[in-house]
Amino acid sequence: MQRTTVLAFAAGMAAAGSALFVTGFGPEHDHKGHQNGSATDHADHAMTPEEEMAAYMASIMPGEPHADLAKGVGTWDAVTSFVMEPSAPPVAGVGTMETEMVLGGRYLVGHFHMDDMMGMPFDGISYTGYDNLRGEYVSTWMDSFGTGIMYMTGHMHETGKMQLQGSAAAPGGEKHMKIISEWQDDDHFTDTFMDKQPDGTWVKSGQIKYTRR
């Protein structure tokens, strides 16, 4: 398997899968701006201590983006299809993902498992939230095929699709990837994985289809 494909495959299993539950509940939730009265709303003047505390308290409260994430709590079956070699057909696999909200409804945790990935069991954990101050979705990912933690950020677009983008360290240098998620209905969504090539172009490396149990 190519190292770039391994990274995209591993990073995307739950990182995007859990983060992108929000796309299934309508493009009207276009969470691009700052939420809940963030401190940046007061950037045009120096805040008093009282204003600063009020802005801080508002910024830490879960809002609509977090409620959208909570709609994805449950158990999901995953069917994977990834390109291992450019000249060979995609390789299929199956897995499961369990998701739950933690820390007062602020983060969605995803636990992904495959009995067989490259002849070995595979497990990954993601934490996904919405950063009120930065006005963007944030996600971390770690798994049994690595020792690092991947960080991705992204937005939901007017089309109803979500895109997360990030990078991961690899022996050959930093590898950049993005994951685009689209819901078919409340119980089905698809993640598409793209790898960045040396010439700056993006090439599709795989896909995961999720079905709610």
pLDDT computed for residue 41 by the predictor: 52
Domains of the chain by residue range = 3-28+66-212
What pLDDT was estimated at residue 173?
A: 84
In order along the chain (213 residues), what is the average pLDDT of each group of 10 residues?
46 45 44 47 74 92 92 93 84 94 96 91 94 93 92 84 87 88 88 91 93 95
pLDDT reported for residue 35: 46
Q: What is the pTM of this model?
A: 0.76
Give the pLDDT score at 21.
45
pLDDT score, position 14? 42
Residue 62: CA count within 13 A, CB half-sphere: 15
What sign for the dihedral angle of Cα 199, 200, 204, 207? positive
Helix (H) or strand (E) holding 8: helix 3-19
| pLDDT score at 46 | 87
Top-level CATH class of 3-28+66-212?
Answer: mainly beta
